Amino acid sequence: MKTLVCAAVFAALFLFVPGAPVAAQDVTLKSRDGAVQLNGTLLGFDGEFYRVETIYGELTVDGSGVICEGPGCPSLTDYVAELDISGAATMGDLLIPALIEAFALRSGLDAKREDEGEPGSFAYVLTDRNTGSEKGRFRFRLTNTDEGFADLLADEADIAMALREIRPEEARHGREAGLGDLKARGRSRVLALDALVAITAPGNPVHRISITDLAQVFAGRIDNWSALGGPDAPISLHLRDARSGTGQAVADRVLRPAQLSLAGTATRHGSDRALAQAVSSDPFAIGIASHSAMGNAQMLVLTGACGFSLAATRRTIKTEDYPLTAPMFLYLPARRLPKLAREFLSYTRSAPAQLVIRRAGFIDQAPEEIPINAQGDRLANAIAGAGAEISLEQLRQMITRLWEMKRLSTSFRFEAGSIQLDAQSRSNVEQLARSLEAGRYDGRQLMFVGFSDGEGPAEGNRAISERRARTVRDAVVAAAETANLERIGIETAGFGEAMPMACDDSAWGRQVNRRVEVWLR
């Protein structure tokens, strides 16, 4: 018997990955031929791999190649996959439980919900349908986005449910806690889509509002309905609680771009349902709620000074043409999750899971192909919104090139003032890459089409839009590692400011217009 000490052998047999300590006990891992022995403290076991703290550092060892000896060794036959999920109640109340139940049904498992005593705490116990043996236990702690990130950073959760992207200070705390870069590829994914919508009571005569006016309203600078074309009556403000992802998204995406702060008179609510009910019963109320939970309230259409209007519909949310689309994120640790948990996460991206997401009242991410004659007002807006620098010939060239193609519902946008894709777009890169690897678009032509806002000279904007299209193409190609790209035609084009989706008179409109679309032939 000899002890493994050679670094080269370690590199061949063991994979270094970050992980989090659990109940620790000493173990000895031996190769099956008895030639290699490793002593250390067991940090965790996911049903397939051991995580062990050794004199060489933390190692992850494939359990199929070793025999575990010692009091800390787990049972290989009675292993139960455990997963702790924490964060936004909007996701944990209905959406993820519905996905777990559907996943269990397809996997030959029974799923039983068990309350754990505290409000918002419960577990799904997954058992083998034939033997009755327990295979998994997925525990939930439903609070808000802030608490979800806090639990992930404190290693009290394996997955954080979030209604907003991780903030810079949270990402910094994650790096300091040894979790690596939580904004890196594979560390987050978009589970489903929702949207922030302005709502009023049914019968309110105001049906439209610009995002600029909406920000002014919630900053308290517009406080009477008469300023919006309504009655001479004070405006009553309603929002989600300040620690919720929805409430924070209002501050981040409605007020901050206008450099405004929330008025202190807003009434806060602990749930979207309570918010919608309060607004619906007050003829002079206005609120910002989730599209999925607006209830009987009346939704306002967003407008701009140039005359464009954008309503929150399933299609405009899915394509992100609606400016206040709200992704629903899952943030993941760098360490390896149990196999059953990985299978569940893989299932959430499948076509059957997208149907579950739709039935739960949210917007799924199944790619859809939209013919050019079903593009709504986009082409009319392209003509009506064309500035002096956009000639009729340029518009004709764009339409001619796209005429026989269909637009994919997957879009890509960039972080403000950056060439880096935003969090939803990074998830879209992975989703499109998986489709390419599966051969879904074999034999077809994909065109990454870039667009810009209308600020600056038209020729410069066209060049910028084409660079953005190439950036997205390169990201998708790099992520599609196993795709046979010889079976797919891939090209890029940039049309600058030629097809605006919104008015350029606000930061929100310019952000919507700066995008990359995917068109198919």
Query: What pLDDT, in 10s, does the model give residues 105-117?
Result: 999 999 999 998 8
Q: What is the mean pLDDT of residues 123-141?
A: 95
Please report the pLDDT score of residue 385 as a whole number.
Answer: 60
C-alpha 443/C-alpha 13 separation (Å) is 41
Of 386 and 406, the one with more pLDDT: 406
C-alpha 378/C-alpha 392 separation (Å) is 16
Of the candidate ranges 8-22, 135-149, 236-250, 280-294, the one whose mean pLDDT is the lowest = 8-22
Confidence band (pLDDT; 50, 70, 90) for 386?
Answer: low
Give 373's contacts (C-beta < 8 A, 6+ positions apart): none
Please report the pLDDT score of residue 405 as a whole number.
Answer: 92
Residue 370, token pair as written in the block: 């939209």
Q: What is the mean pLDDT of residues 224-251?
A: 94
Confidence band (pLDDT; 50, 70, 90) for 4?
Answer: very low
Confidence band (pLDDT; 50, 70, 90) for 467?
Answer: very high
408 CB neighbour count, 10 Å cutoff: 21
Confidence band (pLDDT; 50, 70, 90) for 44?
Answer: confident
Confidence band (pLDDT; 50, 70, 90) for 310?
Answer: confident
C-alpha 435/C-alpha 444 separation (Å) is 13
User: Which of 10-14, 17-21, 285-289 holds the top average pLDDT?
Assistant: 285-289
**Strand pairing partners for 364?**
none
SS3 504: coil
In the chain, pLDDT over 70 holds for what percent of residues? 91
Please report the pLDDT score of residue 376 as a whole number.
Answer: 61
Average of per-residue pLDDT values in the chain:
88
DSSP 299-348: EPEEE-TTS-EE---HHHHHTT-STTEEEEEEE--SSPPPHHHHHHHHHT
Q: What is the pTM of this model?
A: 0.81
Domains of the chain in start order, with CATH, are: 7-69 (2.30.30), 81-187 (3.40.190.10), 194-317 (3.40.190.10), 367-520 (3.30.1330.60)
Residue 348 has pLDDT above 80, yes or no: yes
Look up tokens 């990359």; give the residue.
Answer: 516
Residue 23 has pLDDT above 60, yes or no: no
Please report the pLDDT score of residue 13 as a whole number.
Answer: 40
Please report the pLDDT score of residue 411 as a whole number.
Answer: 93
C-alpha 510/C-alpha 504 separation (Å) is 5
C-alpha 472/C-alpha 482 separation (Å) is 18
SS3 213: helix
In the chain, pLDDT over 90 holds for what percent of residues? 59
Confidence band (pLDDT; 50, 70, 90) for 504?
Answer: confident
Q: Would you state the torsion angle of the CA atoms of residues 70, 72, 78, 83, taken in this order, to the nearest 10 degrees?
A: -150
Please report the pLDDT score of residue 215 as a whole number.
Answer: 96
